[in-house]
Amino acid sequence: MVRYMSIWFPYLLTDRITRSRLELKSVAFVLTAPERGRMVIKAASPEAMKQGINPGMTAADARAILPELKVLDHKEGVEEKLLTRLAEWCLRFTPIAAIDPSNGLLLDISGCPHLWGGEPLYLKAIADVPTN
């Protein structure tokens, strides 16, 4: 039986930023890019999302909601590069891994879980990967 796993990274881009800039870990911030003459939010940190700031909003609307919002520039293509690196890293768990833009991966896990002692242990091995 063919089995697939979908892994979703809801804060892929903002997590990447906070790993290198620890001072932003508990700060509401967004990544924006120009779109049709306005700055549009491409990614929002968990703290910004808690305040009602969501991707797709304009930076001006977001700042009206949260004046202290930190706005950073989004670099085009970062998501794809990051997802590609993650997919390549996941090849230790499956022979086939593909990116699922904009924030996910698809893994063909057919025939793989038994190598880890069953599906629960396989899923745990993937989820418990060290983050350093």
**Do 91 and 122 belong together in one domain?**
yes
pTM, two decimals, is: 0.81
**Do 26 and 61 belong together in one domain?**
yes
Tracing tokens 């305040």 back to the chain, one arrives at 51
pLDDT of residue 130: 64
Q: Give long-range contacts, CB 8 A cutoff, 24+ apart: 21-29.
A: 24/70, 27/70, 28/53, 28/66, 28/68, 28/69, 28/70, 29/69, 29/70, 29/71, 29/72
What mean pLDDT value characterizes the chain?
A: 92
**Do 27 and 60 belong together in one domain?**
yes
What three-state secondary structure class fits 78? helix
| pLDDT tens digits, one per residue of 73-121 | 999 899 999 999 999 999 999 999 999 987 899 999 999 999 999 989 9
- 132 part of a folded domain: no
By CB atoms closer than 10 A (0-12, 13-18, 19+), residue 23 is exposed
| Sheet arrangement for strand 70-73 | 38-44, 29-35, 70-73
Residue 25 is part of a domain; what is its CATH number?
A: 3.40.1170.60
Mean per-residue pLDDT for 5-25? 92
**Do 91 and 48 belong together in one domain?**
no
Number of domains the chain is built from: 2
8-state DSSP, 62 = H
Domain membership of residue 55 as a residue range? 12-73
**Do 47 and 88 belong together in one domain?**
no
**Do 112 and 61 belong together in one domain?**
no
User: Strand 38-44 vs strand 29-35: parallel, antiparallel, or unpaired?
Assistant: antiparallel
